[in-house]
Amino acid sequence: MIAPQPSARTASRLNPDSKQPNIGVDLLRGIAIAAVLGLHFFGIAHAKVAAGAALQRVMAALVGHGYYGVTVFFVVSGFRIANSSLERHAGRLLVRPYPFYVRRATRILPLLWLSVFLGAMALAAIPARTTGFELIFAQRGARFSPSFWGSILTFCFNWERIAVYAARGNGGWGLHWDVLWSLAVEEQFYLIFPLVTAWLGTVARLRAAMAVIVVGAAIWRGALVAHGASWLGGFTGTLTCIDAMALGVLAASMPPWRGNASRIAAIAGGLGLIIAYPAKFDAAYGLVTTGLAAAAMLLIQASRSITVRPRLPLAVLARFGRLSYGLYVLHPMVLFVTFPLAARLPPALGFGVFLAASFGVAAASAAWFEDPLKARLRDALLRNDAAPPKWRAPAET
């Protein structure tokens, strides 16, 4: 029997599971943010930890490539955004631009602007000789030029950072500002996503376009690294990050895998992360991020049909994942506050204090600032934007 086609006034989410909680995705985000926080903590508070005891060296090795956590974030971001916003309307694929941009802006901008404001206040009010100030907020000689502030506010900071590092070797801005490069990449992607989706029009074209992006970005990144491009240019440029988000969108455009397919995906994805994570991003492993992103995509696909019970400690890790945005933006300030204590404690204990403090700050921000403000803004801006009627799309051919 041929499934009935929808009328012009009906639509459906691309995947019927788009609104269902997915602890697998939360766990993946939790692992990613833990890797990033570990990289920054051990790189700043315990920079020489690798020369210490065996346990300390193991911990340092585990977090030494924590920058790959951002790659995993890109995959998850592409999946979550596509899975929750792609719709089929009268047989065509679309993303409604206005509600899409409102939802992205209300999710990202309030905390980002608060972070920028607090960072500016820190530059103006905290003495430069304060312990940790140069590492978190600004080194001596750092230039906070109009182009710097403009790139922060227009989500072009990754390009500003690449240009300044190429010209001077180091922007000297500190961790509080440096982490914002990945938000710039994501927002550039979100800006064009509804437009590209409208232009492509169908699921088949979307999948083909994402596959082309994955291959093209991998080739471009490999060429940059092989020809001596800086690590920063090869890792943080938009064109060298976009394949991870494209893989996330590709996962969202496919139906959930079931049975043996999901189990194989889980095993392959887990092994892929384990194999790719230790690889260094250099001329020999310039394409490792593509493999890492593909492994994350496989784990996402597996998580859509494999049930994981949220028991300790998985429940805690999943909660970390759900707070990952706040943790990512706010943890430099937490590190600055806890730095005098954490640097004096044994590395494992100091890291625990830092994680607990970061978790508490991110949870408070979500409960008392981000979520209430997001709800009020969306209620005001999307009040007349009625959700489309539910309708299950026919199987893709």
pLDDT at res. 395: 37
The mean pLDDT of 299-320, rounded to a whole number, is: 86
pLDDT at res. 235: 85
In a domain, 391, yes or no: no
Q: State the Cα–Cα distance between residues 6 and 342, nearest whole angstrom.
A: 59
pLDDT at res. 140: 86
In a domain, 393, yes or no: no
**pLDDT-derived band of residue 12, with 50, 70 and 90 as boundaries?**
very low
**pLDDT-derived band of residue 224, with 50, 70 and 90 as boundaries?**
confident
Residue 364 is encoded by which pair of tokens?
Answer: 């408070």
**pLDDT-derived band of residue 189, with 50, 70 and 90 as boundaries?**
very high
Residue 228 is encoded by which pair of tokens?
Answer: 């001596």
Instruction: Give me the helix-helix angle, 181-200 and 238-253, nearest 10°.
Output: 50
Domain count, the chain: 1
Average pLDDT of the residues of the chain: 85
Q: Does residue 109 surpass a pLDDT of 50? A: yes
Q: Is 371 strand, coil or helix? A: helix
Q: DSSP letter for 46, please.
A: T
Estimate the share of the chain in helix, then strand, then coil, as percent rounded to the nearest 5: 70, 0, 30
Q: Side by side, which strands form the sheet with 11-13?
A: 11-13, 87-89, 92-94
In a domain, 6, yes or no: no
Q: Which residue has the higher pLDDT, 232 or 138?
A: 138
pLDDT at res. 92: 73
Q: Which residue has the higher pLDDT, 143 or 393?
A: 143
pLDDT tens digits for range 328-380:
999 999 999 998 888 788 878 888 999 999 999 999 999 999 999 999 999 99
Q: Count of CB atoms within 10 A of residue 348's CB?
A: 13
In a domain, 186, yes or no: yes
Considering the chain, what percentage of its residues have pLDDT values greater than 90? 56
CB neighbour list of residue 136: distance below 8 Å, 6 or more residues apart: 44, 174, 175, 176, 332, 333, 335, 336, 339
Domain range for 91: 11-381
Q: Which residue has the higher pLDDT, 165 or 138?
A: 138
Residue 366 carries which side chain, given as an amino acid letter? A
In a domain, 248, yes or no: yes
Q: Does residue 159 surpass a pLDDT of 80? A: yes
DSSP per residue, 11-26: EEESSTTTTS--HHHH
Q: State the Cα–Cα distance between residues 136 and 132, nearest whole angstrom.
A: 6
CB neighbour list of residue 325: distance below 8 Å, 6 or more residues apart: 107, 108, 111
Query: Is the Cα dihedral 322, 326, 329, 334 positive or negative?
Result: negative
Q: Which of 42, 66, 337, 46 is nearest to 179 (CA)?
A: 66
Can you count the helices (H) and strands (E) in the chain? 18, 3
Q: State the Cα–Cα distance between residues 15 and 252, nearest whole angstrom.
A: 8
In a domain, 394, yes or no: no
Q: List the beta bridge partners of residue 92.
A: 89
In a domain, 50, yes or no: yes
pLDDT tens digits for range 242-295:
999 999 999 999 988 888 999 999 999 999 999 988 887 764 556 788 899 999
Sole residue written with tokens 């943790």 = 327
pLDDT at res. 285: 54
DSSP per residue, 269-300: HHHHHHHHTTS-SSTTSTTHHHHHHHHHHHHH
In a domain, 252, yes or no: yes
Q: pTM for the full model? A: 0.89
Residue 26 is encoded by which pair of tokens?
Answer: 């939360």
The mean pLDDT of 22-47, rounded to a whole number, is: 86
**pLDDT-derived band of residue 45, with 50, 70 and 90 as boundaries?**
low
The mean pLDDT of 180-198, rounded to a whole number, is: 94
Q: Is 341 strand, coil or helix? A: helix
